[in-house]
Chains A and B, each alone.
Chain A
Amino acid sequence: MARATVQGRLGERLRWRTAEVVGRGSEYAEATTLMLKVPDWPGHLAGQHVDVRLTAEDGYSTQRSYSVASTPEPGYLEITVQSLPDGEVSPYLAHDMAVGDLLELRGPVGGWFVWRPEQEEPVLLVAGGSGLVPLMSMIRARGSSGGRTPFRLLYSLRSPAHGLYTKELREGLPGLDVTYLYTREAPEGAKREPGRIVPSDLVDHGWPAEFAPTCYVCGPTAFAEKASAYLVLLGHSPERVRVERFGGTGE
């Protein structure tokens, strides 16, 4: 009997569910947030990802993995897709999908790169480009659970025109500090010269290692590699530096 229970759980996680696009939010030209209604969706943990499957009319199908951007809740989730030139899937999701269209998804998966509201330590989030997506889910989960633990976000992006969730981050939340690290072009009057992340960014805007924060780093491989190495050099315990690399270049 116990065996049957396990299989039931497993089946749940692996089952493809039908999701309907109920809204689209434009982040910037290449990035779109898809709002998805999934009637039997169990909810997720902030930081987890889902597999998305697209099937063409002749039966051809392909799948990709996307982090969930929204706060955990049953029946609904959001993913943010950056359209990549020559991509097979991302341009379709970002530009062609309309409200009422269907896709399939399964999950959520991943138990390592997650933040749970019961965590009490301070949190440092380090995002490179669209690596902000799972970290935004953590920020939103903290907000919706009434969390009081202090969060700091360092967000590396190409220019002010390439920001995700711009308005929401500008409005801010009590206990959330946001620092923007522009890599190519900074707004007028910015004190920091545009450039890639350096250790002093983490010293000036992160947490001292003595506070024993949990650090979540997400971004393209080169960015994630660098930022996590700097954190360890600055004395953060490797066990407390959780990394999700998602490949590609970008910012």
Chain B
Amino acid sequence: MNVQVSLNTPAKKAPPAPAPLLSLRNLVIAKAGRRLVDGVSLEIAAGRTLAVIGESGSGKSLTALALLGLLPEGLDIDEATRIAVDGRELGPRDERGWRALRGRRIAMVFQDPMACLNPFMRVGDQIDEALRRAGIASRTERRQRTAERLAEVELPAPETLARRYPHELSGGQQQRVMIAMALAGAPDLLIADEPTSALDASVQAEIVALLARLQARRGLALLIITHDLSVAGALAHEVAVMQRGRVVEAGPAAEVLVRPRDPYTARLVGARRRLDEVAPHRPDAGGVIVEAEGLCVDYAARRLFGAPHRAVHEAALSLVPGRTVGLLGESGSGKSTLAAALAGLRPLSAGRVRLLGHEVVPGGRPLPRTLRRQCQMVFQNPYGALNPRLTIGWALAEPLALMGVPAREREARIALALKEVGLEHEHAARFPHQLSGGQRQRACIARALLCEPRVLICDEVISALDMSVKVQILDLLRRLQQERGFAMLFVGHDIEAVRWIADEVLVMNRGRIVERCAADALDEAHVRDPYTQRLLASRLLPRAA
């Protein structure tokens, strides 16, 4: 299905509408006969924002690269593909033609700024280089423009900042520098491929706001590639939803994201809405099985005689069977360290943890093996949590063997565990890389469940997954908890997800728990802590049309 995105396609007798800034017709990209992008057509008018939405493997990033003539070697582009800038056609492999446009008419911002900035160059010099490429010969003029660009992307003290190296900047500042570089040649179209996906929620909101302001100020056209519907909703006038290399639905953002017609789009939109529902409140039945008090965790000093870095300050929390505590925080807040300390994977520096009747104190006896097994953890990256050289069946046999389950019983229990998390028996014979991200995470959950845990710690378990898969995993965790009644600590940075699954929410900032409240009271009206207020305020709202 090829859907025209721009609504002002020139009709025959209507007054001649201006040619779209960029138009792409029938893009087909194939590798070894397999079509990765299959007949995508897009149009972007000057000053408008188009969001291309899709999950991993949908072909959205390849489409973006094609719009810059940057497709990697070894991909076949169909001959019927037409790309035109300002109505002038360009071959997809016309390197000379594209080079004249790149940076001056079209510029790009990538997902991971740290990987795109040269770590050995001061950021000011990198912008300077971009300006030189854009044809500004005078050195003093370039220096002045560098400061202007840095100010334009709302970075404080541009002169000092220009002398810094990329690693001295935060992720948000790095992305701002990337945007400043992209703006060096005063382009008319900015392509941003997942510009905020590597950033924390509050920083994400700032970058999105910055992009919107830049567009208003410069009349930029924006093409946003994203998997995140809220980013698309906050920025886009028009959206195109991609699935398996095809555009399945396209139209005005306010229309598509609110009343989707295509079943796939409906599933994506539904998944997000699902998390807005308020879950029934579960009563606190009592019977605390994990209790932490004054828990502190230090990281060893980098230098000899240096002071150790305290990652967690005096955390206190308690877990109750059948209930979930959500631990919300941004990267570097110490939430994962706290989770690892509770699971016994990291030694305490101060405080104590009572876990299933056993008391853990700094320097004291570690948890006995049988108890350690009852407190299981599911990790953020399911790929790292499964040995790539062992099949899923072997990975699941590991805890059983360690528990002393006889070999003949293992197969049946593995089959049962796979079924419980919604996998098939045949998955047992596969290697981790032969499964999708969601399936891998299910396998990790199945493996943790084989230990019959009474406590389950989930550390960012959904953040590496696509939106629709996230909701499935959340559903699965909640169902398993209802069936098995384990206590759960759910660590995450996604406010909606944490609120949906948790009964009680703790917010962490710089190693301290700054807020604790019931999940249904996690809104601007109820929270008291200023940091939590800021976090809640950073949620993205749909763009006013």
Chain A partners chain B: no
Interface residues, chain A, CB within 8 Å of chain B? none
